[in-house]
Amino acid sequence: MFYWVAFNAAYDELGSPGGLLNRTQAAQHFQDYFKKIAVCDSGKAIRSAVLSDLGSQTEKLLNNKYVFEPYWKYYHGVTKNTGWKSQLDSSKKRAARAITYMRQTNIAAAEKGVVVLCELFDRLYTLRNQLLHGSATWKSSVNRKQVEPGADLMARLVPYFVEVMIDYPDAGWDAPRYPAVRESGPMSGWPGDE
Instruction: Write the pLDDT tens digit of every residue in 152-161.
Output: 889 988 988 8
Mean pLDDT over residues 165-186, rounded?
78
Mean residue pLDDT across the chain: 81
| DSSP assigned state of 136 | S
DSSP 8-state assignment for residue 66: G
pLDDT (0 to 100) of residue 9: 82
Render pLDDT for 84-124 as a digit per residue (tens, 0 to 9).
Answer: 999 999 999 999 888 888 877 766 567 888 888 899 999 99
pLDDT, position 86: 94
Other CB atoms closer than 10 Å to residue 161's CB: what's the count? 22
Q: Give every CB contact of residue 74 below 8 A, 6+ residues apart in sequence.
A: 80, 81, 82, 83, 84
* pLDDT at residue 193 is higher than 60: no
Are the C-beta atoms of 68 and 94 separated by less than 8 Å? Answer: no
- For the residues 16-28, what does the mean pLDDT come to? 68
What is the rounded distance in angstroms from the CA atom of residue 87 to the CA atom of residue 102? 23
Q: 194 pLDDT exceeds 60?
A: no
Label residue 13 by pLDDT band (50, 70, 90): low
| pLDDT of the residue at 144 | 74
Q: What is the pLDDT, as a whole number, of residue 88?
A: 95
Task: Decide if 133 contacts 144 (C-beta within 8 A).
Answer: no
Q: Residue 43 and residue 91: Cα distance in Å, rounded?
A: 21
Helix (H) or strand (E) holding 75: helix 69-75
pLDDT of residue 185: 60
pLDDT for 94 equals: 92
CA distance 182 to 156: 33
pLDDT-based confidence at 18, cuts 50/70/90?
A: low
